[in-house]
Every structure is written in structure tokens, then in C-alpha cells.
Amino acid sequence: QAKARGRNGYRFYQPSMTGEGVERLRLETYLRRAIEKQEVFLNFQPQVEIDTGKLLGVEALVRWNHPELGLVPPVRFIPLAEDTGFIDQLGQWVLYEACRQMVRWDEAGLNVPKMAVNLSARQFERGSMVTRVADILRETGLAPNRLQLEVTESVIMNTGDALAFINDLHAVGVSLAIDDFGTGYSSLAYLKQMPVQTLKIDRSFIKDISTDANDEAIAIAIIQLGRSMNLSVIAEGVETEQQAAFLLRHGCNQAQGFYYSRPVMPDDLLQRWLP
């Protein structure tokens, strides 16, 4: 199959024309072996303090590079991994590798304050999740307060035991961020009961922040909500200086997005952010 050669010399995945079902099965089969074949790796995207440019942390974003398919985007394989149950294994791998990477940076004398890791719905629902997180922290030696887990509002709202789960995570010492905030339905009353530390304003509101009055209003409302609930607020998908300036002007001093850096390999993070 012809595939365009993209950034970093990667070819990007293009679905074959054989039909959705066949395609899915093919991906599923390959995905099952992706970890053992070492096709999976992590990129890290900086989270930055807007006014100083200081590195506040990074978000781990999983990548899958299949020799034949090329680089398959997470939006294609994460849902598949959830459906097939492979997400348990993948999620464990991501969590472990992300924590290991932090320790590697520490050992190299480089200060990356915080690591954010995404949790999918299925992982979140696992009763054993909290124990697994605690085990990984112990095994890798990463201090719990340097790990932040990201879940979406819908995951929280749709999980029966979300409050208990989040309380348990909090007890382990990790912090929690609500990802893609504003795109799901969350009961603010419910949120208020939870030891959540961070709201991540979804990229869709940031995109047209200086031209679309609705997006502007939503972004401002989230910033104010965060402030009144004593949460830290970070904007996702910041691509321009104007967007960053807007956020700062309205009291949001944390951002993540292409304007600062794309998700990168660990060594590139070092060069760019840690002189």
C-alpha cells in the first residue's frame, strides 16, 4: 500500500479499502502483538507555564508504529484496544513506561516536575486499578505526587464507583485531571465532591478562541469555574501566541499545544526544554 512519508520519517497509517470489518480485524490482530514486538512507544508533550515559559510537566501520548501499516493514530487503536480488552495490557505498559521515563530523567539530573497519563474508561472501571498504580509507583520509585492521571468527564459520570475510585487514587497520592473538559456532561455538584486537581479545557474551545464568541465565553467560564473551585486549569491545543495571550489575560497560566511543542521523543524534550 502506498503511504505518505511524514514527519520524522514515519509513514502514516491509511486504512485499506477492503471494508471496515476486515480492516478492524486486521488492526486487532496486529495490535495484540504490538507490545511484544516493540512497536509501541511514548511521546511526551510539554505542559508550560504561559508567562514564564517554564516546563510544568509532560503528558505521555502512546504511539503505535506497525512495520506495514505505518503510524496508526491513537483515535483508531485506543477504542479498538478498549473493545478487545487489550487496553488493560496497553494501559499498564504506558503507565509503567511513563513512570520509568520520569525516573530516567531524574537520574540524568533533568527536572520534569510532573507526568500526566491518560486512563481510558475501561481501565478506570477496573477494581484493581488503584493497586496497580500503587505497584507501579513502588516498582519504579516515582513519587506519587509527580503522577497525574487524566480521565474524561464522561468516564467519571458513567462509572458507578467513580467517587470511591478517585478517593482511593487520591489516598495513593496521585493527582487527577479531567481531560477534554467541557465536551462531556458533568454534574458540577458531583465534581465538587471529588479530590480532582486539574481541569483541562478541551482543544475545541481553544481553536477559535479569539474569533468565536461562544468558545471565548466557554473558555472564560471554565477558567472561572476552576478558580472558584480551587482547581488548576490548563488549556489544550494552544497553537498560537494569540491564544496563549488570551488565556493569560483571562487568568489561565497553563497551556499545552503545538505552539509550545508537539509530542516528542524523550531526548527531544531534553534538548528543547531542559538546557
Q: Which residues bind Mg ion (CB under 5 A)?
A: 118, 150, 179-180, 203, 236
Q: Name the minimum Å distance from CB 243 to ligand C2E.
A: 9
Q: Name the minimum Å distance from CB 226 to Mg ion.
A: 15
Query: Whose CA is closest to 173, among 224, 248, 114?
Result: 114
Binding footprint of ligand C2E, residue count (CB under 6 A): 24
- 234-273 residues in contact with ligand C2E (CB under 6 A) are 236-239, 257-258, 263
Q: Name the minimum Å distance from CB 95 to ligand C2E.
A: 8
Q: Name the minimum Å distance from CB 96 to ligand C2E.
A: 11
- 173-192 residues in contact with ligand C2E (CB under 6 A) are 179-180
At position 17, the amino acid (one-letter code) is M
Residues 6+ apart with CB under 8 A from 12: 3, 4, 6, 70, 71, 73
Angle between helices 20-32 and 74-84 (to 10 degrees): 80
- Measured at the CA of 173, the angle between CA 247 and CA 162, to 5 degrees, comes to 80
Residue nearer to ligand C2E on the CB measure, 146 or 179:
179
Q: Name the minimum Å distance from CB 136 to Mg ion.
A: 18
- C-beta nearest to ligand C2E: residue: 257
Segment interacting with ligand C2E, rule: CB under 6 A, options 139-147, 169-177, 188-196, 231-239: 231-239
Residue nearer to ligand C2E on the CB measure, 69 or 78:
78
Strands (E) in 131-270, as ranges, are: 147-152, 175-181, 198-201, 232-235, 254-255
Angle between helices 266-273 and 87-107 (to 10 degrees): 40
* Residue 94 binds ligand C2E (CB under 6 A): yes
Question: Beta partners for 147?
Answer: 115
At position 215, the amino acid (one-letter code) is D
Query: Whose CA is closest to 113, among 198, 200, 54?
Result: 54
**What is the rounded radius of gyration, in angstroms, for the C-alpha atoms of the chain?**
19
Instruction: Please tell me the total number of residues recorded for the chain in this structure.
Output: 275
* Residue 118 binds ligand C2E (CB under 6 A): yes
Q: Name the minimum Å distance from CB 118 to Mg ion.
A: 4
Residues that bind ligand C2E (CB under 6 A): 45, 60-62, 73-75, 78, 91, 94, 118-120, 150, 179-180, 203, 236-239, 257-258, 263
